[in-house]
């Protein structure tokens, strides 16, 4: 298989060089170039529509990052954007008092999500997980938190510890997804001082294969939380409104005490939520403080209500799962056929191609070459983060993607490492 030609990224690179004089590192977080393949991926997008994005040099891609998860329908979804515009023009967005639209959306979440007796709206995933942990600590009057998952960038859970005093995270302990024995051992030692167990109900560890819960895992986590009087929090920032409209808790049949939702809730508008049982959420009345000038803003709430309406009306998730089942089966077939250590993991709505590690670490070069060839062929996936499919991915898009994956794997297979 021939090597695909390099992309023209002249404008992207020039913009990035200029940006470093204005913003530390030019761009922040997981959008930094070294989280992709430096020199191969664009750094700036100009626009998007449906499932496609275009960078500032004019290169177009079929996008499988979906803005790291928020785009569940598609970019520039007209009905959603019109709902947001109507809210701006007819009602406004930011006031000294709360608009009733908040109650309409909270009622809708109660209808959909098993644990959502009450809701507090915030903006980001980190807002939500941090508030949920604060509620758990306020409810139990305990200190320790046992975690499994990403959970954001706040002091109690951030992976990079620069600027964070040890005392702000020393009470946060970790266990591995699907390892109930590890969690049980932590609870035996710390259970009586553990305020919360917070876990992603579907496993998406950084840069590793995706994991569905083993039989009895989530049920076992629920039982351990009950045994020690610990608040169980499901971090559904990624899984909410994607695995099912009621989240992974609905799909897997295990109900937490509190849960966090975000990303796909409003199809790209900034909104997240802490939902939970009244017994726990009622602590926010007086004992647990949360406030923000912008948390009650209603543009994203209008977008969320329209997003949920479309998803129910058009059976979006039913169609996504059906398309995704074939997509994943076809991806697995070409990965297996290449026989170079490429591995497909995930579920129909979330997937990840990783490379089996070897003692000579050739997998790193294979991964770099594979994703370089893939982006040159117009498919936007990330080497260190799983992908998603959205409603606007067509069967033709998915088939073309499988073909481009096959070509990229074939290139890697015939390269001498």
Average confidence (pLDDT) over 229-249: 98
Looking at residue 405, its pLDDT comes to 98
Average confidence (pLDDT) over 26-48: 97
CA 53, CA 12: separation in Å to the nearest integer?
A: 14
| 266-to-71, 167, 221, 394 alpha-carbon distances in Å | 8, 36, 29, 21
Looking at residue 416, its pLDDT comes to 83
Give the tens place of pLDDT for each residue, 113-150.
Answer: 999 999 999 999 999 999 999 999 999 999 999 999 99
Give the tens place of pLDDT for each residue, 278-321.
Answer: 999 999 999 999 999 999 999 999 999 999 999 999 999 999 99
Average confidence (pLDDT) over 157-167: 96
pLDDT exceeds 80 at position 376: yes
Looking at residue 39, its pLDDT comes to 97
The confidence band for 2, taking pLDDT boundaries of 50, 70 and 90, is confident
Domain range summary for the chain, segments of one domain joined by +: 10-75+316-413, 78-313
Percent of the chain with pLDDT over 70: 100
Model-wide pTM > 0.85: yes
3-state secondary structure labels for all residues of the chain: CCCCCCCCCHHHHHHHHHHCCCCCCCCCHHHCHHHCCCCCCCCCEEEEEECEEEECCCCEEEECCHHHCCCCCCECCHHHHHHHHHHHHHHCCCCCCCCCHHHHHHHHHHHHCCCCCEEEEECCHHHHHHHHHHHHHHHHCCCEEEEECCCCCCCCCCCCCCCCCHHHCCCEEECCCCCHHHHHHHHHHHHHHEEEEEECCCECCCCCCCECCCCCHHHHHHHHHHHCCCEEEEEECCCECCCECCHHHHHHCCCCCEEEECHHHHCCCCCEEEEECHHHHHHHHCCCCCCCCCCCCCHHHHHHHHHHHHHHHCCHHHHHHHHHHHHHHHHHHHHHHHCCCEEEEEECCEEEEEECCCCCCHHHHHHHHHHHHHHHCCEECECCECEECCCCCCHHHHHHHHHHHHHHHHHHHCCCC
Looking at residue 31, its pLDDT comes to 96
Looking at residue 277, its pLDDT comes to 98
Mean pLDDT of the chain: 97
Percent of the chain with pLDDT over 90: 98
Give the tens place of pLDDT for each residue, 318-349.
Answer: 999 999 999 999 999 999 999 999 999 999 99
CA 47, CA 55: separation in Å to the nearest integer?
A: 7
Looking at residue 256, its pLDDT comes to 98
CA 113, CA 115: separation in Å to the nearest integer?
A: 6
pLDDT exceeds 80 at position 413: yes
State which CATH number among 3.50.50.60, 3.30.1330.10, 3.40.50.300, 3.90.1150.10 fits the domain covering 10-75+316-413. Answer: 3.90.1150.10
The confidence band for 231, taking pLDDT boundaries of 50, 70 and 90, is very high
Fold of the 78-313 domain: 3.40.640
Looking at residue 219, its pLDDT comes to 98
- For residue 39 the two structure tokens come to 């020199």
The confidence band for 259, taking pLDDT boundaries of 50, 70 and 90, is very high
Average confidence (pLDDT) over 343-370: 97
Average confidence (pLDDT) over 42-50: 98
pLDDT exceeds 80 at position 12: yes
In contact, 392 and 51? CB cutoff 8 Å: yes
| 178-to-182, 197, 221 alpha-carbon distances in Å | 9, 14, 10
Look at 1 and 236; give whichever has higher pLDDT. 236
Looking at residue 45, its pLDDT comes to 98
Looking at residue 341, its pLDDT comes to 96
pLDDT exceeds 80 at position 1: no
Looking at residue 417, its pLDDT comes to 85
Average confidence (pLDDT) over 188-196: 98
Asked if domains 10-75+316-413 and 78-313 share a fold, the reply is no
CA 207, CA 383: separation in Å to the nearest integer?
A: 8
pLDDT exceeds 90 at position 71: yes
């Amino acid at each position: 298989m021939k090597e695909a030609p390099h992309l023209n990224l002249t404008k992207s690179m020039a913009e990035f060089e200029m940006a470093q004089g204005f913003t530390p590192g030019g761009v922040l977080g997981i959008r930094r170039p070294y989280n992709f393949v430096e020199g191969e991926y664009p750094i700036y997008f100009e626009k998007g529509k449906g499932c496609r994005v275009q960078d500032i040099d004019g290169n177009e891609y079929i996008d499988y990052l979906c803005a790291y998860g928020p785009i569940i329908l598609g970019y520039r979804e007209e009905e959603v954007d019109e709902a947001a515009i109507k809210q701006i023009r007819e009602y406004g967005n930011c006031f000294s008092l709360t608009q009733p639209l908040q109650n309409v959306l909270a009622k809708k979440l109660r209808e959909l999500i098993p644990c959502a007796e009450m809701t507090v709206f915030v903006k980001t995933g980190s807002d939500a997980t941090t508030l949920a942990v604060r509620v758990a600590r306020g409810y139990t009057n305990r200190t320790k938190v046992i975690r499994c998952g990403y959970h954001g960038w706040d002091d109690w859970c951030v992976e990079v510890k620069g600027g964070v005093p040890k005392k702000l995270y020393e009470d946060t302990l970790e266990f591995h997804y699907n390892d109930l024995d590890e969690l049980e051992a932590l609870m035996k030692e710390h259970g009586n001082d553990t305020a919360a167990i917070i876990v992603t109900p579907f496993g998406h560890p950084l840069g590793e294969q995706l994991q569905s819960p083993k039989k009895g895992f989530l049920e076992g986590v629920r039982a351990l939380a009950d045994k020690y009087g610990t608040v169980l929090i499901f971090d559904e920032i990624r899984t909410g409104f994607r695995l099912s409209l009621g989240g992974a808790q609905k799909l897997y049949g295990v109900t937490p005490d509190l849960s966090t939702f975000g990303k796909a809730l409003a199809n790209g508008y900034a909104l997240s939520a802490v939902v939970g049982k009244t017994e726990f959420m009622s602590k926010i009345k007086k004992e647990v403080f949360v406030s923000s000038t912008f948390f009650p803003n209603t543009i994203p709430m209008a977008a969320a209500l329209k997003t949920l309406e479309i998803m129910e009306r058009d059976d979006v998730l039913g169609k996504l799962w059906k398309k995704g089942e074939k997509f994943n089966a076809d991806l697995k077939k070409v990965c297996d056929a290449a026989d170079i250590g490429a591995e497909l993991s995930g579920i129909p709505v979330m997937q990840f191609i990783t490379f089996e590690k070897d003692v000579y670490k050739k997998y790193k070069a294979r991964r770099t070459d594979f994703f370089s060839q893939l982006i040159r062929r117009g498919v936007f996936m990330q080497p260190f983060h799983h992908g998603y499919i959205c409603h606007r991915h067509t069967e033709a898009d998915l088939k073309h993607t499988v073909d481009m994956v096959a070509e990229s794997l074939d290139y890697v297979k015939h390269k001498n490492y």
